[in-house]
Structures are given as structure tokens and as C-alpha cells.
Amino acid sequence: MKVLLVRLSSMGDLIHTLPAIDDLSRMRPDVELHWLSEAGFADIARLHPFVRQVHTMRWRQWRKQLSAPDTWREMNRLRIGLQRNKFDVVLDSQGLLKSAAFSKIANVPIKGLNFQSAREPWAALLYNQTFQVDKRGNAVWRNRMLFAQTFGYSLPQTMSFGVVVPESAHINGLPERFHVALHATSRDSKLWPLNHWLELLTRLNGQDGAAVMLPWGNDVEKKRAEAIAANLPFAIVCERLDLLQAAYLLDRADSVIGVDTGLLHLANALDKPLVGIYTDTDPVKTGVQTSAWAQNIGGVGQMPTVDAVYDLLQQSLLAQPVVGEHKLVT
């Protein structure tokens, strides 16, 4: 069976789809899986070896230039390319009108969430077959349940993200030991105060002497990283990294501490000891998949203390993850 998965964005949503793909690889190895995503997040889709091919679209760019002939030429090339693959079925796991519309261009039957389950219920009207998945479940569980129903298997009792970081993402000159501090996020309300970061990282370095790496994604985030590093001689501001390089960095870290951001979920997918710090979002819905070595702290309107984050990180560091295996989390 040749299947096109449509999950266009964003980084965290794509990462939350990986355990469902890993289930599929174990339960239905006969499936040939292709994935359609936004070009900016395509490297996330490439992290799982079961994905045969990644197809990309650029809706974030196209929607700003809908009157431009080049936009329509690119969209037409996408349509022709998808239809040439002669997929048996499309699975839209995103449940948006946008993802449903892009699912239609493959010109084959579409499966997805039903009216009660989809994020945008009207998207379900474009599907040929729909499935009920409880909205109260977290994103990873919802994806796994949708795949299990779509492809006809019982949900496995263990869960793995199945991520493999390619050696081509190698970064030269990394310290022998280091932690990663994910200090930046999409909006200011989700930030953790600068003085909290300075105190936490100083205590962490005093404990083990390891360096701290500070990745960034734009000029504002780079300035924040530089402000942290200016006060901490053991902190290093990273060069600009693409997603695969970021995965390589996280994969080699002793631990990861971060606010609510896509890279935190990527670290979770890599089974790193970590603590997710939440100040304006609900970790029950958007937090990392918890285990003995991966924990969330905080919530909407909360400001976790340095002591609480440090103590939780120590617990995570003491726990030894079984590589690639998580207990079932619902």
C-alpha cells in the first residue's frame, strides 16, 4: 500500500507524528509511506527511516504571492508530482481545511479525523473516511490512535519516536560534554527570565563543569543567547543551525533544558534527559512525553523557580533512558 501522509506544520506537530510512524513501521511494514510537509520543516520528516520520500510545499510563501505566476507554476508542479506517484490513499493527520485542501490534489481517497475530532471540523467534509479520536488526549496519543484505526492494528504497548540523526548533520568543534539551553520561543509570554537562566546554568556548571550550548533561530534569539553568554564564560553561542544540525547538537547533549519550543520536543524525540519549562501553555496538552528522564514543570500563568527546575533536572540526569523505548503515555 502506497500512502501519502499530510502533516504540513509546525515543528512540534511533525515531531508528535513520529511515534505514530514508528508504530506503523512495526505493525504494517508493507506500507510505503510518503510525507507532504512545509519545506521549512521537511528535515523533521526525514528523521524517521520508514519515510520513503518527503514532498514539500511552500504555502507560507505562496499565500503571500497568490497572484504571481511562479506561485501557480510551483503548485501545479506539486500536483503533477503527487499524482504521478499513484498513491492508494492519503492520510491527513492535521485536520485543517488547509491540509485537507492539499490532500485533495493527490486525487485519491482521503482518510482523516471526523467532524468531532478534527481541529477544524469542516475539514472532515473533504475526507472519504473518518475516524473518532478523543480530543482530550495529548497530541502524540491522538496521532497514534488515528494511525492505528486507519491501518487496522491495535496500539502497541511501547512507544518510540524512531528518530535517526544522519551523520551528514555533523557539527565540528563541539565540547566533549555540554548541556543545551533552549532559551528562546515564539512569544515573550513563554520565556523564562534571564536571571533565572544565569542562576540555573551557573549551578549546573558548578556541579559537572560541562559547557552550555545556546542555539538560536533569529536575530532576537541570538541577542538573548549573547546576553546569557556575556555573563557565563562556559556558555557558547551556537552558529546558525539548520534542523538536522540542531538534531545532531541535541543528540550529543548531556541534558536539555528548555521553554515551550519545537526543539524541546525534538530533544524529547531523541530520548535526552530534559526539563520543559512552561509559563504560558498547558504541558498536559503541549508538553513533552514524560518519563523518568523527561519532565514538564509549570503551566499557564506559572513561573517555575530555579530550585524546582534544577532539582527536576537532577532527577532526569540520574535516570538512565532505555534507548528508543517509552512507556505508553495517554
Give 3-state DSSP helix, strand, coil % of the chain, rounded to 5. Answer: 40, 20, 40
pLDDT of residue 285: 83
Parse the chain into domains and list their residue ranges: 2-159, 167-327
| Model confidence at 165: pLDDT above 50 | yes
| Domains 2-159 and 167-327 fall in the same CATH topology | yes
The CATH fold of domain 2-159:
Rossmann fold (3.40.50)
| CATH code for the structural domain at 167-327 | 3.40.50.2000
Which burial class, exposed, middle or buried, applies to 23 when counting CB atoms under 10 A from its CB (0-12, 13-18, 19+)?
Answer: buried
pLDDT of residue 322: 54
Residue 264 pLDDT level (bands cut at 50, 70, 90):
very high
Helix/strand/coil (H/E/C) assignment for every residue in 3-31: EEEECCCCHHHHHCCHHHHHHHHHHCCCC
User: Model confidence over 223-246: pLDDT tens digits?
Assistant: 999 999 999 999 999 999 999 999
User: Model confidence over 87-133: pLDDT tens digits?
Assistant: 999 999 999 999 999 999 999 999 999 999 999 999 999 999 999 99
Task: Report the pLDDT averaged over residues 185-209.
Answer: 96
